[in-house]
A and B are shown apart, each in its own frame.
Chain A
Amino acid sequence: MLAIEAKKLTKEFQVYQSRKGLSGAFRDLLNREYRTIRAVNEIDLSIEPGEMVGYIGENGAGKSTTIKMLTGILQPTSGMLKVNGYDPHREREKFVRTIGVVFGQRSQLWWDLAVQESFQLLQKVYRIPQEKYEPHLKRMIDVLNIQELLDQPVRKLSLGQRMRCELATSLIHQPSLLFLDEPTIGLDVLVKEDIRQFLRDINQELNTTVLLTTHDLGDIEALCSRVVMLDKGNIIYDGDMNRLKREWGDGKRIVLETEREYELSELQATTEGLPVEWEKKATHTYEIKVPGDQVQVPEVLGRVIAQGIAIQEMQLEEATAEEIVRKIYQEGMTLD
């Protein structure tokens, strides 16, 4: 059974359009105009158990709407959707026992209750037997290092502390599928790394499927082998991260710092016949763009050194996931 299976999944919203000015407001009072917006447009998605998938897209691309359909919060307008074998909205109460949810911008915990009281209440909500609940919770408390936070009310926790508690909360009933919506938003680097490590661990140990939406592509690079990219309600890319990099990463860049000033033509002559581009960046600093797969970095460097260019410093740069994604959104996707 697939963890997530969606076919032609669509969500439309009726949006009320207000007219301009005060007279417009009066006309709205009597006769409202509605417009249908398709937030998610016939997407197909299948995710195997145990996969860690990054779900990315710009604001308003339909990410949140998709997640809300997958978690049973919203009813799809049309299309087929099975998550863990359930229809998420229609069989909501049975279905949500099998999933865990973390919405980074919104707490899953009760604001006024102490953390451990939230846990206790959730044990009752999910009807988890004590003998199963206790060892599991204890372990998560250890791994996430939240022992000393347990008796504090959630409203008094810092963002990083709260997020660790949110993760424990989402896993309290040992779900097979975990939805993470911006789990590292606003966190500092160390906490981020802890959380990523924790997610990797539970994925390996418990084979938990993870669907992750984030603006921080570092999360995706660290965790996900597969990315699904969304634009204006359509899936524009679904595949592995490396392929995305290879085909969109524009190859690599070599930055050279030389001992003395060279003419650009002089340098270009050294790589005669190779499909590389030279660019002067600053005094004594030059950049070579080495595209995709046609030519290797050692070959280029070998030539440059053999021609007697005096190199002082050298750096190899690769496009970050962030640059790639920005590029795709700017230029449009023509993959496949």
Chain B
Amino acid sequence: MVQFQLLWEYFKQYMKARLEYRWDFISQFFTDLMSQAINLVFILVVFGHTQHLGGWSRYEVIFIYGYFLIPWAVFTSFFNLWGFNDKYIIRGELDRVLTRPVHSLIQVIMESMAPESLMGVLTGGIVMGWAVWHLPLDWAWYDPLLFIMFVLGGVAVYAGIYVALTSISLYSDSKSDIQPIVYNIGTYGRYPVNIYSKIIQFVLTWILPFAFVGFYPASYLLGNGDWKVYAMLTPVIGAVFFSLGLYSWNRGIENYKGAGS
């Protein structure tokens, strides 16, 4: 609870500092919006040529994309760890973090969050709403609860993998280029996995389980029972991967060698 209060304090201060750089804030906002729009246009273009994609109709695919935007937005707002190696390891800011009485990962997350990306939740909601308008969906009373659980599970999957990758910097201070690669694979979860080959499906389910961020839960919400078990596994996979990420982080902190002098 105290941590949440603290998160809120950081959030307020962050917004204040961030709003001082008005143009930066606004341009970030519009860049996000643009990339979301481009992805949407891409889907529409694809469906200009075909009626179905792996058995999914246009609005179903749009729904999956809209759903995907929600955990994605939460993840990119709070786990904006791109600059971790430069800022915290090379410039040594981690030393400061480690002299404060809050878990190091929480501090780093709070200091690097980009709340403007949370707008993606709204965009995702609108895109989903647009798709739902054209789809005959029948949701039970507990489906909204499941929806929230799915989103949190999805965020946890991303967060876990991303935290684990970021913590590589704690073991070795050389830069690694694996982050952007995985980041790109991360966006695969926004299309139906059955359009990919078996190997990629396997990877997206068990190795880098990004299908749990978009496709599996969305397919359940679309009323497709084929992947129901997977959808229900979302929180479990989220918990497992987040724990792995956290474990890797904590081990990394023990291994941390400090910046020179």
Residues of A within 8 A of B (CB): 13, 59, 64-65, 68, 71-75, 89, 92-94, 96-97, 99, 101, 103, 105-108, 110, 112-113, 117, 120-121, 124-127, 153
Q: Which residues of A contact B6 (CB under 8 A)?
A: 124-125
Q: Of B95, B102, B103, which is in contact with the most chain A CB atoms at under 10 Å from its CB?
A: B95
12 contacts between A and B (CB under 8 A): A65-B258, A71-B98, A72-B98, A73-B94, A74-B256, A93-B103, A107-B96, A112-B20, A113-B16, A117-B16, A120-B9, A124-B9
CB distance from B200 to the nearest CB of A (A): 29
Once the chains are docked, how many angstroms separate the CA of A173 from the CA of B109? 23
CB distance from A79 to the nearest CB of B (A): 16
B254 interfacial contact with A, CB 8 Å: yes
Once the chains are docked, how many angstroms separate the CA of A65 from the CA of B98? 14
Once the chains are docked, how many angstroms separate the CA of A198 from the CA of B70? 52
Q: Which residues of A contact B94 (CB under 8 A)?
A: 73
B199 interfacial contact with A, CB 8 Å: no
CB distance from B260 to the nearest CB of A (A): 8
A94 B92 Cβ-Cβ under 8 A: no
Given the interface contacts A113-B13, A124-B9, does A72 sit within 8 Å of B256 by beta carbon? no
CB distance from B92 to the nearest CB of A (A): 6
Once the chains are docked, how many angstroms separate the CA of A237 from the CA of B75? 53
Interface of B is mostly: helix
Once the chains are docked, how many angstroms separate the CA of A120 from the CA of B94? 21
Once the chains are docked, how many angstroms separate the CA of A17 from the CA of B257? 16
Once the chains are docked, how many angstroms separate the CA of A117 from the CA of B16? 10
Q: Which residues of A contact B140 (CB under 8 A)?
A: none
B102 A125 Cβ-Cβ under 8 A: yes
Residues of B within 8 A of A (CB): 2, 5-6, 9-10, 13, 16-17, 20, 92-96, 98-103, 111, 254, 256-258, 261
Closest 5 pairs between A and B when the two form their complex, measured CB to CB: A112-B17, A73-B98, A101-B99, A124-B9, A93-B101
Q: Of B13, B99, B102, B254, which is in contact with the most chain A CB atoms at under 10 Å from its CB?
A: B99
B102 A73 Cβ-Cβ under 8 A: no
CB distance from B20 to the nearest CB of A (A): 7
CB distance from B15 to the nearest CB of A (A): 11
Once the chains are docked, how many angstroms separate the CA of A105 from the CA of B96? 12
Q: Which residues of A contact B2 (CB under 8 A)?
A: 127
Smallest CB-CB separation from B93: which chain A residue? A106
Smallest CB-CB separation from B255: which chain A residue? A75
Q: Which residues of A contact B96 (CB under 8 A)?
A: 101, 103, 106-108
B261 A59 Cβ-Cβ under 8 A: yes
Q: Give the residue of A13, A117, A125, A153 whose beta carbon is less than 8 angstroms from that of B100.
A: A125
Q: Which residues of A contact B93 (CB under 8 A)?
A: 106
A99 B99 Cβ-Cβ under 8 A: yes
Once the chains are docked, how many angstroms separate the CA of A113 from the CA of B17? 6
